[in-house]
Amino acid sequence: MIVVSINGVAVPVEAVASAELAAVQELLRQRAVAVGLLGNEATDEEEVGRAVEALLAREVVTPEPTEAECQRHYEQHRELHGSGDLVHARHILFQVTPRVNIPEVRARAEQALNELLREPDRFAAMAAELSNCPSGQHGGNLGQIGRGDTVPEFEKALFRLNAVGLLPELVKTRFGFHIVAIDRSIPGNVVPFEAVREQVAETLRGAVEERALRQYVSILASQAEIVGAQIEAATSPLVQ
């Protein structure tokens, strides 16, 4: 057992890989308490989760992408916006629900991915054993997928640069963490900007939100006493 300490509050974690995530969660919990969104004695995971969501909604600013930014992203990534693009894919889902310990789920997913990167032939067996998706009983097979058939964050991973094979990183969606293998990629034709403007905007929103969250956590870390975990601390609120 490893113990991470945030401002004198001990947080036990099972593995070094989980230490940073545990530290971030405790930083956010303490901030929620400090601004009156949560009682200091609250332990219910759902209550803490709601308070942290309210905290982030209030304190993390994510501006809407402009038309010019969307157009520029489209021009720089035209290969991502195809009509008729298809992939044949498999996945293993590590589902995230309100009651699960997210760092533990991520750690299990990362461990499984590392095993598959060494032994990709075990994909079907591990899908049957580990996946929280019904497709697990069929080797994780999702069949043929076109654009618009899945949630945007999953689609982005499937159609990124016509990738084929086991993706080397987890794919995070609103459902959880996915290990993804693309067996075949069939590119289509590029569609005009007007047809994918909202899709481009959603991609940029996600990127802006991720940067804003990292910056916010860095600022909290710079103001905290942290022992047992490494979090990059911002020396300025303008850190990028």
Q: What is the dihedral of CA 147, 150, 153, 156, to 10 degrees?
A: -20
Residues 141 and 223 in one domain: no
Chain-centroid distance of CA 59 in Å reads 20
Domain that holds residue 64: 1-81+197-240
Is the pTM higher than 0.85? The answer reads no
Position 199 scores a pLDDT of: 87
Residues 28 and 100 in one domain: no
Closest listed residue to residue 179, CA positions, set 134, 145, 130 = 130
Domains of the chain: total: 2
Residues 76 and 88 in one domain: no
| Dist CA 82 CA 79 (whole Å) | 7
Max Cα separation, the chain? 57
Phi/psi of residue 6, nearest 5 degrees: -120, 110
Residues 182 and 207 in one domain: no
Residues 93 and 185 in one domain: yes
| Dist CA 137 CA 130 (whole Å) | 10
Ranges of residues in the chain whose predicted pLDDT is under 70: 1, 14-17, 79, 82-83, 161-162, 233-240
Q: CATH number of the domain that 169 lies in?
A: 3.10.50.40
3-class secondary-structure state, position 10: strand
Residues 158 and 202 in one domain: no
Residues 103 and 156 in one domain: yes
- The predicted-structure confidence for 173-201, as pLDDT tens digits, reads as follows 989 999 999 999 887 777 889 888 998 99
| Token pair 């916006």 in the structure block, residue | 81
Closest listed residue to residue 133, CA positions, set 166, 85, 180 = 180
Residues 76 and 87 in one domain: no
Residues 115 and 154 in one domain: yes
Phi/psi of residue 166, nearest 5 degrees: -75, 120
- The predicted-structure confidence for 34-46, as pLDDT tens digits, reads as follows 999 999 888 888 8
Residues 179 and 87 in one domain: yes
Residues 208 and 149 in one domain: no
